[in-house]
Every structure is written in C-alpha cells, then in structure tokens.
Chain A
Amino acid sequence: MSAPAPTPARRVTDRPETSRLVSLLTGKEIVVCCGSGGVGKTSVAAALALAAAEQRDGKVLVLTVDPARRLATALGIEGIGNLERQVDPELLRAAGIDARAEVWAAMLDTKQSWDALVLRHAPDDQTAYRILHNRLYDNLTARFVQSHDYIAIERLFELHNEGKYDLIIVDTPPSRNAVDFLDAPSRMREFFGGRLLRWLTLPYRVGGGRGARVISVASRPFYQIADRLIGSRFLEEIANFFLNFQSMYDGFVTRANAVEQLLRDRRTTFAVVTTLEAAPLHEAEEFFTELAARRLQLGALVCNRVLPDYFVAPDALAAARDLDARADALGDEIAANDGGSVTELAASADVRRVLHTVATSFRDFSLVGAQEHQLRADLARVPDVTVTVPMRTADVSDVEGLAWIARRMLGRTEGDGDSATDATATGTPA
C-alpha cells in the first residue's frame, strides 16, 4: 500500500467495455464470479485478479473453490487448506503481467471452514466436541443443500472483515442452480432459526434426558412415521444432534444476516461467466433475473471460450466455399507449379484432399461461430460490461494461461509468448 497516488490505468484500449471493466476492478471490493458448471469460472476469476492487479494498488485475493490441480499448483495453493498465499511476483512478471498490486490466492476448504464456524459459535468446548464428533455432522456439512455455497460466502465475509485485501474475487462452487449461492444465507438462517428445528427437538426437551419417549402433541405424527421408517435409536441420535446444534443458533443467525448484507452491499458486484452455448447461457440469463429480483448488482458478463470472429466473416466464408468448389483444380495447379515447397511432400491428390479438408473444417466451425453470434444477439438483457475471452487451444493451467485471459479481458493481445495458442492473433478481423 506504499504506492504513490494512483496512476491512470495503463495499456488498456479505449473500448468502453474494457474501461468499465477496469472501473469495476478498481472501484469494488468484492467481485463474485457465478455461472454454470464447465464454463471456466475458476480461470476467469483468477484471471480477473491478475487483470485487477495491473490496474490498481494494494492486495488482490482470488478465493477459488475447486481449482484444477495444475492450476492450484501454479498458484501455490495446492494442499494448504484454507491458507492464503501470495502468487510469486516473478511468475506474474514472467507471464507479462505488470502488477501494481500483490496477487494472493486461497482455496476453500469446506470441512475446515465448517469446523472453524462450529468452534466459534458453540457455547463451550464440550458442545463443540459433541457436534464435531457426531456422525451426522460430516454428512450435514458435506451434503446440506448449499452447504458449500454458504461456507464460501462465510469465508468471503471473514476475509473481507479482516480488511487485509483491497479486492477479493470469489469463484463460486458448482451448484445445481447458480442462484443457490444467493439464497445460501437465508436458507441457513431458516435452517437454524426455523420453528421446525425447535419443533423437532421439543420432545427431548420436554421429556428431559436421553431416550425419553415423552412426545409433544405437535410432533407425534412425525415421530410415529419416522420411528417406523428408520428406527428409534437413529431418530434419537438425530434429535440429540439438533439439540446440540441449536445452541449455536444465535451466533449462526447473526452471522448469516451479516453475510447476506455483504452480498447486497454496493461494494460487492457479480460477474456472470458463460460460454456462448445454449444451456450455460440459459442459466446466465436466469441468473440476471434472480440478481435483479434480489436487488443485487450485476457488474459484468464474461463470455468465455468464444470462437474467433473470422469464422463468421463474409469474405472468409466466401473463400471457404470457393476453396471447396475449386479444390481439385487448385490442388493440381499448386502441386504442379509451386517450386518445391509443397510438391516435395505431396502429390496433387494430397493437395486436393487437404484443401477440401481445410474448407470443410472452416465451414463446420463457421456453423458454431454463427450460432454463438446468434445466441449473443438473442440475449435479452446484458450488463453494461460484457467482455469476450476467445477460445484458447491450450489448457489454462498456469499463470501464463491466466495472464493470457487477463490481457484479453483488458483488450490487449501484445506480450504473448505463444501466439500459436491464440485463436485471434492471426485471424482476419470481421
């Protein structure tokens, strides 16, 4: 934080969407990345951290949930639980990132975070011990609907509260529905604060003592059925567990409220990540609606792994058609006249075949490109900031790959060591 007065963002093209992305990354404290599974959310979140580090001072943290092992290793966070680690500035520099801010990374360890939460809220050590060693506990934390979602937000809250980071970018857990993440705090509050929990544990309170068969009138039908289904010992275990858990009620609910407040805060914004395919886009659009309904702030849409524009360029399409139609004649001519550069290797039949293949492949991918364009055009509402990250042929599994994405989000393509992996580097612009 010792840098002088902030200098204007550097080396950013003046496209309005890019500068708006920059203002999000410099003006917000939290960016939550959401989206359907398999769209590259984790990579985009980490790349946003790199992009932000170029544009602002201080410390930027990316909180990842389930990174690919190679990526976790590259970021230096593999197997270190909940700890945050600074990404080696040397690695950033080598990848062409001119970072002003420090980049930090952390992985979410769900189990560890839950344990910490219990230890914080349990009234005494004994209760904490009883909860942590109940066989239902692991199950609850591992499978409770939105347990991962809640714990991710909870951890975010904790990190934000510590005040150590100027910007936190969060990758969200894979959920059945992206909106589950938004509702996690209220579900948690419902779960612990609900009348049901009290209702369920009532008979044991009234009866006092373990295994008491004094059952309240209200819950009798439930106990009768449950008893017949799963047996009384199991049932008793469940009730005892809830009784212990209930002692944490106040702490949990207060916390869930605060966590929810943080999501609503103007300092927090959401970035929806998608590919230009029907199903992920469908989910992205649902997400827009849900954010609006909850008055949460939609900051940016990131379209990831988009095919280069040249696949829908009319002159390229015309050339592909022409090439296909005239492949035989062209193949013969090239094979006959090309001073050795081709003919050394190939007979005219080979050249013909290759030209046909090239043209056919282009037309195949053009179909996908056209579909992507159409899907994007059909998006009913898009946020102010929509950034496009082109398809990268190599996996994004190292800092270099993240830097590659970061540069494209900032509208730059210079500084790539390997232009071969860049789908747009040599293309004819549309």
Chain B
Amino acid sequence: MGPEPAWLEQRLLFFTGKGGTGKSTMAAATALLAARNGRRVLLVDVDSKGSSARLLEHAGVGYTPVDVQPGVRAMAMDTEKSLREYLKLQLKVPMVGRVGPVAHAFEFVATAAPGVKEILTIGKIAWEAREAIEGRADHDMVVVDAAASGHVVAQLSAPQTIRDLADVGPLRAQTDWMIDLLSDAAITSVNIVTTPEEMPVAETIELVDHIRNETQVHLGAVVVNRVLPELFTHRDEATFEALRKPDVAARLVAEVGSGVNAVLDGARLAVELRRARAEHLERLRETVALPLLYVPYQFGGGEGIRTTRRIAGALSDELGL
C-alpha cells in the first residue's frame, strides 16, 4: 500500500525521523525524483549539517538557494537570516548597523521563548511554499530535510504556539495563513523515515502520535529504509538448511573449497537479520495505520549522488511512477 499518488504533487513535503535512519537521504532522493518528474524543487536543510550538499555532491549550501542538481535547488536554514529577511520584507525595519546586538539579543530570547525560533524556520519554509503555489518562485515545491523526531513537533506546531502566546503583533497576524497552508492535506505532508529496527520503530510510533495530537499537519507516509531482501521462501529455506548439514556441506567443500562454509554462514546471517527486522516491521504496520514505502538496503552503497539516485529509483518503484 503506497501513499495516495498525489504524494509528489504536494507543495510541501517534510521528512523527519530518528537520527541515523536516513531522513536526509530520503529528502534528497525525493527531491531528485520530483525533479525527474518535471518539478522544480527547493530542498531545505533545517539542521544545516550540510548533509543535503554531501548527498547531492555539492560543495556547500547556504541560506541563499543554489542549484545542486538539474531541477533541484538547495538551501540551509538559518534563523537569524530568516529574521533579517522577515524584518526587511514585512516590517521594513532597517537592520543595517544595528543587526549585531539585536540579533544576539534575539537569539537569546528565542532560546527561551517557545516557538520563536521555530516560527522563523517554519515561517520561511511556509513562505517558500506559498510563493511556489502563487507562481512567484523559481520552484514548484519544497522538500524539507526537517528536524529529527525530538524537535519536529515543536516546529510544525510553532504557528499555533505563537498564536497562543503572543497577544498582538505581526507575528501573530502571520500565523493564520501558515496554519492554513500547513494543515491542508493537498498541500503539505510530514513523512517519517525509519528503519526496521527496535528503537527507530518505537520512536516512529511515538512520533506519529505526537504529530496527530499536537499538530495539524497531515501525515503522508512512513518510509522504511534499509529493508533487507527476503532470501528464501519457507520451502527454499528448508532446502537451504538441508544444504548446511555436514554431509552435504562436505560435498560443497569438496567442489568449491572450504570457503563455502563461510558463504553458507553468510546466508544464514542474512536470513536471521531479515527475520529479526520483520517483527519490527510487523509492529509498525499494525500500529501506525499509514502508507509504508519500502526502500531496500543498498549493499555497498556508500554516501553520495550515486546512492541518492538509486534510492530515488527505489522510491519511484514504490510509488509506481
């Protein structure tokens, strides 16, 4: 069961998940896939660890979007720059000269005040999506390599938080259109990347709950990364076990050398790894009630554009494109 075919036609796709599951890879691959299908994509790296640059083989990405692949432009979030841009565009506040101390003080307040930093992140993203919808941007859609599970809810719910906290002021006035845009399932979805392992699955299940209860953003799909292939059917596995019996194994050793024992062990390990993970997948399937997209484990894939392309291909297959 894949997500509704309109997945790639949305304007704003968030990717989140536990650290180490490959959310940056999935965001970059989705950007490539969308570009391959004729869309112009803005890829936003929220944690600005520079991973999107690495995954798409680009020297470096800053706040100003740059072309990283045909049809894909990328930018890294920077809340201070986002504030500056906002003040300039919305309030016509001249920041030059005074920006130093003000930005520092702002950083300070934003640290303590709920939602301020988050609104600058989500506000910039929503703004780029709105520009795309209204045809004023160089892109048609925004793909976000969002914060990891621990922080993403605060970001997605920032407009609501600000509306509840700030009594007046333009920030509050700005939250209405953001909430509309973020809660529109035809426009926006948040997608969770996970792997078929205990902790990532447990965190995904918790995160789905948090997103459902604390945000108004539509959950798109859970992308299950690093799925190992099923080697054998039940019947073939019985045959495989028979091949590992001493007399048969001895015959194989006589034919192809003693190294064959390790080859058989390797297959056994592969079967067990797959089996251990299957349980977690089962739990995920039963619990989250969301479309799951499976992306196979990339043997010897490494990190870079080659792997990102392969994963885009796998996603494309899953979506039936």
Are A323 and B150 in contact, with the CB atoms below 8 A?
Answer: no
CB distance from B286 to the nearest CB of A (A): 17
**Cα A368 to Cα B101 with chains together (Å):** 50
Contact residues of B between 106 and 122, Cβ < 8 Å to A: 106, 108-109, 111-114, 116
Query: What is the CA–CA distance of A192 and B265 in the complex, to the nearest angstrom?
Result: 58
Partner of A242, one of B112, B167, B247: B112
Once the chains bind, are B19 and A38 in contact (CB under 8 Å)? yes
Q: Which of A70, A176, A194, A326 contacts B256 (CB 8 A)?
A: A326
| Interface size band for B | 35 or more
Q: Which chain B residues border A221 with CB–CB below 8 Å?
A: 98, 101-102
Bits for B5-47, please: 1 = Cβ < 8 Å to A, else 0. Answer: 0000000000000111100000000000000000000000001
A350 touches B263 (CB 8 A): no
Cβ of A126 within 8 Å of any chain B Cβ, yes or no, is no
The segment out of A22-30, A140-148, A292-300 that lies at the interface is: A140-148
B261 within 8 Å of A (CB atoms): yes
- A351 in contact with B239 (CB, 8 Å): yes
CA distance A308 to B263 in the complex (A): 12
Closest 4 CB pairs of A and B: A38-B20, A37-B19, A367-B300, A319-B259
Please tell me which stretch of A3-11, A50-58, A73-81, A418-426 contacts chain B, meaning at least 4 of its Cβ atoms lie within 8 angstroms of it.
Answer: A418-426
In the bound assembly, the distance between CA atoms of A39 and B111 in angstroms comes to 29
Q: Is the interface of B mostly helix, strand, loop or mixed?
A: helix
Contact, CB under 8 Å: A330 / B231 = no
29 contacting pairs across A/B (C-beta < 8 A): A68-B198, A70-B198, A143-B111, A143-B151, A218-B101, A226-B106, A228-B91, A234-B166, A242-B112, A277-B303, A279-B20, A310-B265, A316-B262, A316-B266, A320-B260, A320-B266, A322-B256, A323-B263, A330-B256, A342-B245, A346-B239, A357-B236, A361-B266, A362-B267, A364-B300, A366-B266, A368-B299, A368-B300, A371-B300
What are the interface flags for A143-168 relative to B under an 8 Å C-beta threshold, 1 for contact and 0 otherwise? 11100000000000000000000000
Q: Flag whether A116 is at the interface (Cβ < 8 A).
A: no
Give chain A residues whose Cβ lies under 8 Å from the Cβ of B106. Answer: 222, 225-226
Q: Point out residues on A near B: beta carbons under 8 Å.
A: 36-39, 68-70, 135-136, 139-140, 143-145, 174, 176-177, 191, 194, 196-197, 199-200, 218-219, 221-222, 225-231, 233-234, 238, 241-242, 277-280, 308, 310-311, 313-320, 322-323, 326, 330, 334, 338-339, 341-342, 344-346, 350-351, 353-355, 357-359, 361-362, 364-368, 370-371, 391, 393-395, 397, 420-421, 423, 426-428
Minimum Cβ distance to chain B for residue A160 (Å): 27
Q: Is B105 an interface residue (CB 8 A)?
A: yes
Contact B199 A68 (CB under 8 A): yes
Residues of chain A within 8 A (CB-CB) of B91 are 225, 228-229
Set of chain B residues within 8 Å of A313, measured between Cβ atoms: 259, 262
**Using a CB-CB cutoff of 8 Å, which residues 152-171 of chain B contact chain A?**
154, 162, 165-171
Interchain nearest-CB distance for A354 vs B (Å):
5
Q: A180 → chain B, closest Cβ, in Å?
A: 12
* A153 CA to B300 CA, complexed, in Å: 38
- Interface pair B167/A365, CB less than 8 Å apart: no
Total CB contacts across the A-B interface at under 8 A: 257
User: B21 contacts which chain A residues (CB < 8 A)?
Assistant: 38
A361 touches B167 (CB 8 A): no
- Contact with B236, one of A242, A320, A354 (Cβ below 8 angstroms): A354
Q: How far is the CA of A136 from the CA of B230 in the complex (A)?
A: 50
Known A230-B116, A393-B272; contact A345-B169, beta-carbon cutoff 8 A: no
Query: What is the interface of chain A mostly: helix, strand, loop, or mixed?
Result: helix
Least CB separation from B87: chain A residue: A225
Q: Which of B239-276 contact A (CB under 8 A)?
A: 239-240, 242-243, 245, 247-248, 251-252, 255-267, 269-270, 272-273, 275-276
Closest CB in chain A relative to B196 CB, distance in Å: 11
Instruction: Report how far A111 CA is from B106 CA in the complex, Å.
Output: 25
Neighbouring B residues of A338 by C-beta, 8 Å: 247-248, 251
B232 at the interface (CB under 8 A from A): yes
Q: Give chain A nearest CB distance to B203 CB in angstroms.
A: 9
Q: Is B202 an interface residue (CB 8 A)?
A: yes
Whether B137 sits at the interface, judged by CB under 8 Å, is: no
Interface: B200 (CB within 8 A): yes
Task: Report Cα–Cα, A319/B263, bound state, in Å.
Answer: 7
